[in-house]
Chain A
C-alpha cells in the first residue's frame, strides 16, 4: 500500500474541461445564485408595491416584506445566517419600520448577552477539560453491557446539554465515541451498534438541549423575543420545570426506539471500557482551573435558579464570565478560538425582526391569515405550531425556526388571548427536536459525519422519533402544564 503525494501527480494546466451537459443546465448550475438574488430583489419589490391588504398597516407590510426575504435566505442559506440577520436589522430601519437607533439597540438585548455568557462559559468548560472529565466519568459508569453503554451514550450528552450548548457537547464527545466504536470493531454504515451509539450521541444532545436556556440558545432567543414584544418572561427555573419532564420522557422513548431498530450486534464492551479507563487515566487529577470553573459554574446556575426573578439572567452570566477572567481561568484568545461571534449578529437581528413584526401588527395579521382563519381552538393552535416547528427544524436552522415562528405565534396569542409563554414553549421546544435529517441540527450533522450512519435508516427511525416528540409535547401541554399553572 502506498500514498501518492501532490508532487507525484502530473497535472496539465492546459487541460480543457468540457462540460457535456445541456447548455441551459450548465448555465443554470453556474449562475443560480445570481438568478436567486435577482428573484429575491424582484419579490421584495413586488411585496412592497402590492396594495396594502386590509387589516395590515403600511409599516406592517414593509416589515413582512423584510421578513419574507430573510425567511427565504435563512431557509436557502444563500448567505450565512448571521449575515441574513444583519440584513434584517438594516432592512427594517431602511424601510422606516423602526428608527435606526432603536433597531441597532436590539443587538444589546438581554437574551443576546445571556447567550454570549453561556457560550463563553461553555468555552471555559471545554478549555479546562472539565467537560471531557465529567463526560468520561459518567460514561465509564455505563460499561456493563452494550445496552448499558448505549444508555450512557444517550444520557451523558443529554445531561451535559443542560449546561452547555448541545453542539459543543456532541463535538466534545465525538472523538471519545469514535475511539469506542473503533475499539469494538464496529463496521461503518452496516453495523447496528455504530448506528445506535452515534444516534444516541446526537439525539441525547438534542433532547437535553431543550431542557434549559444553556443547551439550546434558541430557547433564550425565544424568551428574548417574548420579553421584547410582550414584556412577559420565563425564568431559568420555570423553563426547566416545564420542559425537563419531557426531556426524561423523550430519553426513555429514544432509548427504546434505538434498541428496537438497531438491536445490538456485539456481545461485549470490554474494549470500550478499556478506552474509557485509558482516557480517564490520561486526564490525571482535576486541575485547580477545572475545580474553579466547576465551582463558578455551580454558583452561576444556582444564581440563575434562585435569583433569576430578581436579578437579570444576562447580568448573572456576565458576572460569571468576569470572574473567569479575575481568576485567570481563561484567556481572551481562548474565547476567540471557542466562541463563534456570529451568534450575536444572528440573535440580535432575529429579535429585532420579531419585534418589528409584532410592533407593526404584521405578526397578528400573518397569524390571522395563516392559522386562526382555520381554527381558534388554543389546543389545536398549539398542536399545529409544534408540528410546523418540528417539520421546519428538519430543514433549517432551529434558531431561524424560532426567529420565524415566535413572532407569528405571539400574534396568535395576542388575538386569541392565549398565554404567550405557551406559544414560546410550543415553538422553541419542538424546534430542538429534529431527529431525522443529518443536516437538520448540529448534533445530527456531527454524528453523521462519522461515516457510521446510513442516512436512510436515520431518516426512517428519526421520523418516528419526531412523531413521538410531537405526541409527547402535546401530552405535556395538555396534562402536565396545567399542574404547574401554565394553562392553555
Chain B
C-alpha cells in the first residue's frame, strides 16, 4: 500500500507528522511525503504589499525571491526531519518537494504514484469560515480519487 502525506507552506501541523508515520507503520504501508511550495502564498502577500505599501517592483521582487528561498529551505529542513523520524520509527518513507498549486500538485502525485490513501492535516477553522472561504484541504477532499485520512490540528 502507498500512502501520500501532503504538506505545504501554509499547512503547518507538526503533531500530524508523527500521526502520519504511526498510521503508516500500523498499516505496514509505504509513505511518500510531498511538500508543496505554494507559489500563491508569497504572491498574495506581495500583491497586497504593492497595493497597500506602494513598494516598488524591484524591492518587491527581491523580497519575494528571499521569501521563496526561505520557504524552500524550511521545506527541505522539514522533509529531512521527517526522513529522520521515519528512520527511527522504521517506516518506509520517501520525500519529495514540488512548487506549484497545492491541490493540483497533490492530485498529480496521487495519480503518478497510484496512491491508496492520502493523508492531510488542517488547522482548526470554523465551519462557516470553511464554507465561505473554502480551503485547499476541502478542495482536495472533494477531488481526491483515493481514500483520505484527515488529521485536524
Residues of A within 8 A of B (CB): 1-4, 6, 8-11, 17-22, 25, 28-29, 77, 80-82, 119, 123, 126, 167-168, 171-172, 174-175, 178, 182, 188-190, 217, 336-340, 342-343, 346, 397, 399, 439, 441-442, 445-446, 448-451
Q: Does B92 contact A (CB under 8 A)?
A: no
Measured in the bound complex, the distance between the Cα atoms of B75 and A471 in whole Å is 42
Measured in the bound complex, the distance between the Cα atoms of B80 and A1 in whole Å is 9
Asked if A3 and B97 sit within 8 Å, CB to CB, the answer is yes
Residue of A343, A446, A448 touching B54 (CB-CB under 8 A): A343
Whether A340 contacts B56 in the complex (CB less than 8 A), given A2-B96, A4-B96, A18-B142, comes out as yes
Q: Does B98 contact A (CB under 8 A)?
A: yes
Asked if A77 and B51 sit within 8 Å, CB to CB, the answer is yes
Asked if A21 and B131 sit within 8 Å, CB to CB, the answer is yes
Asked if B132 and A178 sit within 8 Å, CB to CB, the answer is no
Rounded to whole Å, the gap between the CB of A450 and the closest CB of chain B is 6
Rounded to whole Å, the gap between the CB of A247 and the closest CB of chain B is 20
Rounded to whole Å, the gap between the CB of A55 and the closest CB of chain B is 35
Measured in the bound complex, the distance between the Cα atoms of B9 and A188 in whole Å is 11
A-B contact pairs, 29 of them (CB 8 A): A1-B80, A3-B96, A3-B97, A4-B108, A8-B108, A9-B105, A18-B142, A22-B131, A25-B131, A25-B132, A77-B48, A82-B51, A82-B54, A168-B59, A171-B59, A171-B62, A175-B62, A190-B14, A217-B54, A337-B56, A337-B58, A339-B56, A342-B51, A439-B48, A439-B52, A448-B45, A449-B42, A451-B67, A451-B74
Measured in the bound complex, the distance between the Cα atoms of B132 and A172 in whole Å is 37
Whether A446 contacts B70 in the complex (CB less than 8 A), given A10-B111, A18-B142, A29-B134, comes out as no
Whether A20 contacts B70 in the complex (CB less than 8 A), given A3-B96, A342-B54, comes out as no
Rounded to whole Å, the gap between the CB of A409 and the closest CB of chain B is 22
- B36-80 contacts to A, CB under 8 A, are 42, 45-46, 48-60, 62-63, 66-67, 70-71, 73-74, 76, 79-80
Rounded to whole Å, the gap between the CB of B142 and the closest CB of chain A is 5
In the complex, which residues of chain A have a beta carbon less than 8 angstroms from the beta carbon of B29?
none
Q: Does B109 contact A (CB under 8 A)?
A: yes
- B3-21 contacts to A, CB under 8 A, are 9, 12, 14
In the complex, which residues of chain B have a beta carbon less than 8 angstroms from the beta carbon of A340?
50, 54-57
Q: Which of B54, B60, B132 gathers the greatest number of chain A CB atoms within 10 Å?
A: B54
Beyond A9-B105, A25-B132, 10 additional pairs, beta carbon < 8 A: A6-B100, A77-B52, A168-B55, A174-B66, A182-B73, A338-B56, A340-B54, A441-B52, A449-B63, A450-B67
Residues of B within 8 A of A (CB): 9, 12, 14, 42, 45-46, 48-60, 62-63, 66-67, 70-71, 73-74, 76, 79-80, 83, 95-98, 100, 104-105, 108-109, 111-112, 131-132, 134, 142-143
Measured in the bound complex, the distance between the Cα atoms of B49 and A167 in whole Å is 9
Residue of B54, B100, B105, B108 touching A10 (CB-CB under 8 A): B108
Residue of B63, B74, B80, B142 touching A20 (CB-CB under 8 A): B142
Measured in the bound complex, the distance between the Cα atoms of B54 and A339 in whole Å is 8
6 shortest interchain CB distances as A-B pairs: A442-B53, A337-B58, A338-B56, A340-B54, A167-B53, A397-B52
Asked if A338 and B74 sit within 8 Å, CB to CB, the answer is no
In the complex, which residues of chain B have a beta carbon less than 8 angstroms from the beta carbon of A448?
45
Rounded to whole Å, the gap between the CB of B33 and the closest CB of chain A is 10
Asked if A451 and B96 sit within 8 Å, CB to CB, the answer is no
In the complex, which residues of chain B have a beta carbon less than 8 angstroms from the beta carbon of A80?
51
Whether A445 contacts B142 in the complex (CB less than 8 A), given A3-B96, A340-B54, comes out as no
Asked if A8 and B112 sit within 8 Å, CB to CB, the answer is yes
Rounded to whole Å, the gap between the CB of A6 and the closest CB of chain B is 8
